[in-house]
């Protein structure tokens, strides 16, 4: 049923909860797990020049140590969890409008299921879902499993 599962991640606790769900499903189906970190260019563009924004859109975070480290840490978490479950993992870093990048990645890689957190690292939460999650639901026809994180 599921051959490729996408986990968009920003490294937040809710994203890590989504990883746990994705790994559980992937184990049942022997699915490949894709970890995608998207730098939101709308959020970072104000302090950067056009050249830097273009590099971010290409997934090149060279010279942006904090962003590169955040991206690597977030996707490494997914890969480590997948490999511990004897699953294949694919990591990708990109830049753009997150919901657009997620939808494009989904289409380009024949993703069968998206598993993502209900809201991201920003901590700003809409009444029900984070804006990226809500927009992703509207931007793709692939099933989306939305996971919330509840602290113990």
pTM of this structure: 0.84
CB 17 within 8 A of CB 148: yes
Q: What are the pLDDT digits (tens) for 68-113? A: 888 999 999 999 999 999 999 999 999 888 999 999 999 999 999 9
- Supply the pLDDT for residue 151: 64
Taking the domains of the chain in order of start, what are their residue ranges?
Answer: 4-147
Architecture of domain 4-147: 3-Layer(aba) Sandwich (3.40)
- Supply the pLDDT for residue 146: 93
Name, in order, each residue with C-beta under 8 angstroms of 46's C-beta and a sequence gap of 6 or more: none
């Amino acid at each position: 049923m599921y051959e490729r599962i996408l986990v968009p991640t920003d490294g937040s606790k809710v994203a890590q909860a989504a990883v746990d769900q994705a790994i559980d499903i992937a184990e049942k189906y022997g699915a490949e797990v894709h970890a995608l970190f998207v730098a939101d260019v709308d959020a970072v563009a104000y302090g950067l020049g056009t050249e830097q924004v273009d590099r971010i859109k290409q997934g090149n975070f060279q010279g942006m140590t904090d962003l590169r480290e955040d991206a690597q840490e977030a996707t490494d978490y997914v890969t480590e969890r997948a490999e511990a479950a004897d699953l294949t993992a694919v990591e990708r870093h990109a830049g753009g409008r997150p919901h657009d990048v997620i939808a494009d990645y989904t289409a380009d890689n024949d993703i069968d299921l998206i598993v993502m957190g209900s809201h991201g690292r920003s901590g700003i939460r809409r009444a029900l879902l984070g804006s990226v999650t809500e927009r992703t639901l509207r931007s793709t026809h692939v099933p989306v499993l939305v996971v919330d994180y509840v602290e113990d």
